[in-house]
Chains A and B, each alone.
Chain A
Amino acid sequence: MNLNIDSVKKRTFDAIVVGSGISGGWAAKELCEKGLKTIVLERGRKLDHITGYKTALMAPWELENRNMHTTSDKEDYHIQSKCYAFNDGTRHLFVSDKDNPYEQKKPFDWIRGYHVGGKSLMWARQTYRWSDFDFEANAKDGHGSDWPIRYADIAPWYSYVERFAGINGNKDGLPQIPDGEFLPAIELTVLEKHLQKVIRDNFKGMNLVQGRSANATAAVNGRGPCQFRNLCHRGCPFSAAFASQAATLPAAAATGNMTLRTDSIVHSVIYDESKKRATGVRVIDAVTREMTEYYAKVIFVNASTVNTTTILLNSESNRFPDGLGNDSGVLGHYLMDHCYRGRAGASYDGFEDHYHKGRRPTGFYIPRFRNILGDKNDSFLRGYAIGGSAERGAAWEGGAWQSGFGASFKNAMTKPGGWGAGFHMQGECLPRFENKLSINKSKKDQYGMPTVEFDVQWSDNEIAMLKDGKEVLTAILEKAGFKNIEFYDSNEAPGKGIHEMGTARMGKDPKTSMLNRNNQLHAVPNVFVTDGACMASTGTQNPSLTYMALTARAADFAVNALKRREI
């Protein structure tokens, strides 16, 4: 009996954080720094900062396939290998699709990394604040639940997380991407400056700015500075690229309050009907397959959008037969992703005697300009941003299509290539009830978790933006004197934007949403969700900075609520 009590005691903490990715890392840091004994449960393997980055310093010739995809990638990683960051240097950071199957009623590319830090290691680190154009969008056009917060609620938390994370950029004075606490900007190339001027002078309402990114361009909290290798996806040995194990997890560990348990797949949240609270989680050990329970007063579910909702759906009780806190029936619904289908490329003759040195971890960004600030486009609701870069590559990269061989050909191949620019649209995705994920309890994965089934497709609204994007980009590139202008539709499935959002959305009304303004489950106040699952809309900006800010804000609320004995 005493043994049993001891065992329960050892498995009891003040707080549980499920997941160690971008939002889980922040939850761990904030809760630990505020004095809570916290266990962080990571489903994947241990992956230590720096020493775990086995490819970080590899030269091109040291990579097994010199960065080419292999035929076995197309079998073992047939979904993951579609990701822009999947290559010879990062293959080990992506899950095997063979070992981690899921169902697709319609195509959905689910990109995953199961290790400490999750996708915070492989993300593109683009970091923009949202504005009230985004937080008010649902209320204005009636699609989706009204956000229960506005920019003023989150602005101080954006500042708080930016100061710690280290975000580079310029103060651009644009209301749709409010300025923040920035580290030194990364200067645009000569061709980008040319493009910037052409846009400023000829396209009212549009602006080209430096893409703000979570790379420490100056030392911040002992991290960085950035060495401009642009190999961030392999893990940054200079700690300049933001990742959980580079930034938030060490801060959490430094308090002495964090316990990090890897290979720990959370099966479900335990709900106590008499207390009307969650009391802990059930964990499947990924190695032994044994189930263990952990207990805490407060639980942050930050397993990433799809897995967070899978856990909630899998948390059945008499009170919640359809998933924890799912009184509204919206759990799993309103799955969204940014629509990156619109792409363009063009070449530029000129600036032959100009080049650049170093490799930037970012490019340029054209924030949303449609249907805001006096613009009105009747063919679609909301808008899109455009990201990209304009640089010189190396001549040899396109050399196979040039004629010739021998000494003079070789000499030409050693030179810089011409200038070129690439663009991708980043379209807002409307929240739609029909776009959903569900779990199949009769079909379990190797760990005994139900498999996920996706039923998601782009709507006419996202597709209508492509036509506008083509016209806008073509007009800009023609005006700026570009050649070989090509616009095309990548026709990629939802998911590949890796900005999967929604499925446990925030809202004012418990009848139509899962979470309140503090990211608490309406019906279970000691359970918080602050990853992409909580999002009520997508905005046009990359979402991770908003996850960080929402997490820090919710953790602050949770600790105060605990002190007031409200939860």
Chain B
Amino acid sequence: MDRRKAFQRISILLGGIALAPELMAKALADSSVSVSAAPPDRLRLLNEMAETIIPETDTPGAKAANVGEFIIHAVETCLPADRRRAFYDGLDRAEAACTSRFGRSFADCNESQRISFFTDLEKQPSTDEGMPPFFTALKMLTLHGYFTSEIGATQALNYDPVPGGWVADMVINDQTKAWTSMF
């Protein structure tokens, strides 16, 4: 099971975050790319985008969990250079498109503007061959960041750090929350 589970996780990462080996090798060979310095408004922008995907409801949203900070950490630390560039390019393009459409940053848009913008963004295919569309990458990072944060893991999900036993079969209803993934 450990192998299977690990594989499942890896395949999830391969789809969204980690990279195909050949692309990885290419990225690693590219040592000329320095770690991009995050502009100060990037954290705010990413937190607002993440909040639009995972908003505050009866539990806190992505902004309260500071998912933007996780996204920046993941992009800087875990993505190879070309994936990192593709993500920031996608972010810059999205922000530019939003500004030209509404005359303001996504972070300053109202809820209906944000929903309208993301509805269109979600339909856009990837601009880089071999890369997931920007919105998919953003969503992947947002979900991972939120549901592994203390807020997401303990409030939005059912946190059970020391189960103490194994129940092979339990009946649930449509209100039952998923167990927190512990890795």
**A-to-B contact residues, CB < 8 Å:** 59-61, 63, 65-72, 74-75, 84-85, 87-89, 124, 186-190, 211, 227-231, 233, 340, 343, 345, 353-364, 387-389, 392-401, 403, 405-407, 409-411, 413-417, 420, 422-424
Q: Can you list 6 A-B pairs with a CB-CB distance of less than 8 A?
A: A60-B182, A63-B183, A85-B6, A229-B162, A400-B136, A416-B177
Q: With the chains together, A227 CA to B8 CA distance in Å? A: 23
Q: Are B182 and A229 in contact (CB under 8 A)?
A: yes
Q: Which 3 pairs across A and B sit closest by C-beta, in order of nearness?
A: A363-B1, A422-B4, A84-B6
Q: How far is the CA of A407 from the CA of B51 in the complex (A)?
A: 10
From B12-20, B38-46, B86-94, B98-106, give the one contacting chain A: B12-20
| B183 touches which of A60, A410, A420, A423 (Cβ 8 Å) | A60
Q: Which residues of A contact B3 (CB under 8 A)?
A: 84, 124, 340, 387, 424
Decide if B37 is an interface residue (CB 8 Å cutoff): no
Whether A61 lies near B150 (C-beta < 8 A) is yes
Q: Are A389 and B1 in contact (CB under 8 A)?
A: yes
| B13 and A355 contact, CB distance less than 8 A | no
B55 with A410: CB separation less than 8 A: yes
Q: Is B96 an interface residue (CB 8 A)?
A: no
CB contacts under 8 Å to A, within B84-143, are: 115, 118, 122, 132, 136-137, 139-140, 143
Residues in chain A near residue B55, CB distance under 8 A: 406-407, 410
Q: Counting chain A CB atoms within 10 Å of each CB, which of B57, B136, B143, B174 scores highest?
A: B143
With beta carbons under 8 angstroms apart, the residue of B2, B54, B74 that contacts A65 is B74
Residue on A nearest B62 in the bound complex, by CB: A410
Asked if residues B4 and A75 are in contact (CB atoms below 8 Å), the reply is no
**A523 to B61 Cα, complex, angstroms:** 70
A353 CB contact (under 8 Å) in B132, B161, B172, B180? B172
Nearest CB on B from A186, distance (A): 6
| Complex Cα spacing A222 to B140, Å | 44
Contact A68 B13 (CB under 8 A): yes
- CA distance in complex: A340, B7 (Å): 12
**Cα–Cα, bound, A392→B157 (Å):** 14
Task: Report the separation of the CA atoms of residues A346 and B173 in the bound assembly, to the nearest whole angstrom.
Answer: 24
Q: What A residues does B122 contact at CB under 8 A? A: 403, 405
* Inter-chain contacts of A227 with B (CB < 8 A): 162-165
Q: Are A394 and B147 in contact (CB under 8 A)?
A: yes
Contacts of A189 in B (CB 8 A): 168-169
B178 contacts across to A, CB distance below 8 A: 392-396, 414-417
Assess A228 versus B165: contact at CB under 8 Å? Given A393-B181, A411-B57: yes
Residues 13-66 of B at the A interface (beta carbon under 8 Å) = 13, 15-18, 24, 27-28, 52-55, 57, 61
The proximity string for B residues 145-181 relative to A, scoring 1 for CB distances below 8 Å and 0 otherwise, is 1111110010011001111111111111110111111
Contacts of A354 in B (CB 8 A): 169-172
- Given B118, B144, B172, which contacts A355 in the complex, CB threshold below 8 Å? B172
Contacts of A403 in B (CB 8 A): 122
B interface with A by C-beta (< 8 Å): 1-9, 11-13, 15-18, 24, 27-28, 52-55, 57, 61, 70, 73-74, 77-80, 115, 118, 122, 132, 136-137, 139-140, 143-150, 153, 156-157, 160-174, 176-183
CB-CB under 8 A from A75, the residues of chain B are: 28
Contact B164 A65 (CB under 8 A): no
B42 smallest CB distance to A (angstroms): 19
Complex contact A388–B140 (CB within 8 A): no
Residue of A nearest to B11 (CB): A345
Contact A398 B12 (CB under 8 A): yes
Contacts of A356 in B (CB 8 A): 166-170
Question: Which among B149, B172, B174 has the greatest number of chain A C-beta atoms within 10 A?
Answer: B172
Q: Which single residue of chain A is at the shortest CB-CB distance from B162?
A: A227
Bound CA span A415–B80, Å: 32
Contact B2 A124 (CB under 8 A): yes
User: Which residues from A are CB-within-8-Å of B137?
Assistant: 400
Contacts of A364 in B (CB 8 A): 1
Chain A contacts for B174, CB-based, 8 A:
415
Q: Report how far A407 CA is from B53 CA in the complex, Å.
A: 8
**Bound Cα distance A47, B124 (Å):** 51
| A69 and B162 form a contact (CB under 8 A) | no
Enumerate chain B residues within 8 angstroms of A387, measured Cβ to Cβ.
1, 3-4
The chain A residue with its CB closest to the CB of B7 is A422
Residues of B within 8 A of A231 (CB): 182-183
- The residues of A that contact B149 with a CB separation of less than 8 Å are 61
**Inter-subunit contact A396/B143 (CB<8 Å):** yes
Cβ–Cβ contact B7 & A343, under 8 A: yes
Q: How far, in angstroms, from A361 to B170 measured CA to CA in the complex?
A: 18
Residues on A with C-beta less than 8 A from B180 are 60, 394
| Bound: A396/B115 CA distance, A | 20
User: Nearest residue in A to B84 (C-beta to C-beta)?
Assistant: A71
Q: In whole angstroms, what is the CA distance A340 to B143 when docked?
A: 31
In the complex, chain B residues whose CB is within 8 Å of the CB of A423: 4
Partner of A363, one of B4, B28, B148, B162: B4
Decide: B140 and A400 in contact? CB cutoff 8 A: yes
Residues of A within 8 A of B148 (CB): 60-61, 63, 66-67
Q: A387-B3, A396-B147 are in contact. Are A358 and B53 (CB under 8 A)?
A: no
Are A410 and B166 in contact, CB atoms less than 8 angstroms apart?
no
The reply to whether A394 and B157 form a contact with Cβ atoms under 8 Å apart is yes
Beyond A393-B181, A405-B53, A406-B52, is A68–B171 a contact (Cβ under 8 Å)?
Answer: no
A188 touches B168 (CB 8 A): yes
In the assembled complex, how far is the CB of residue B111 from the closest CB belonging to chain A, in whole angstroms? 9
Partner of B73, one of A65, A399, A400: A65
- Contact assessment for B8 and A413 in the assembled complex, using a CB-CB cutoff below 8 Å: no
Question: CB-CB < 8 A to A345: which residues of B?
Answer: 7-8, 11
Q: Decide: A357 near B140, CB < 8 A? Known: A71-B77, A397-B12.
A: no
**CB within 8 Å for A414 and B177 given contacts A74-B28, A389-B1:** yes
A229 partner, pick from B79, B144, B161, B170, beta carbons under 8 A = B161
**Separation in Å of the A519 CB from the closest CB of chain B?**
29
Interface-centre pick from B16, B179, B180 (highest chain A CB count, 10 A): B179
User: Within the assembled complex, what's the spacing in Å between the Cα atoms of A411 and B100?
Assistant: 32
Distance between Cα atoms of A209 and B40 in the complex (Å)? 56
Q: Which of B2, B15, B27, B177 contacts A400 (CB 8 A)?
A: B15
User: Which partner residue on chain A sits nearest B154 by CB separation?
Assistant: A59
**Distance from A224 Cβ to chain B, minimum over Cβ atoms (Å):** 12
B53 touches A406 (CB 8 A): yes
Q: Which residues of A contact B145 (CB under 8 A)?
A: 66
- How far in angstroms is the closest Cβ of chain A from B163? 4
Note all chain B residues with C-beta closer than 8 A to A388.
1, 4
Contacts A60-B183, A398-B12, A424-B3 given; does A416 touch B168 at CB 8 Å = no
Q: How many Å lie between the Cα of A188 and that of B179 in the bound state?
A: 18
The reply to whether A88 and B179 contact each other, CB–CB distance below 8 Å, is no
Residues of A within 8 A of B61 (CB): 410
Complex CA distance for A71 and B140, rounded to whole angstroms? 18
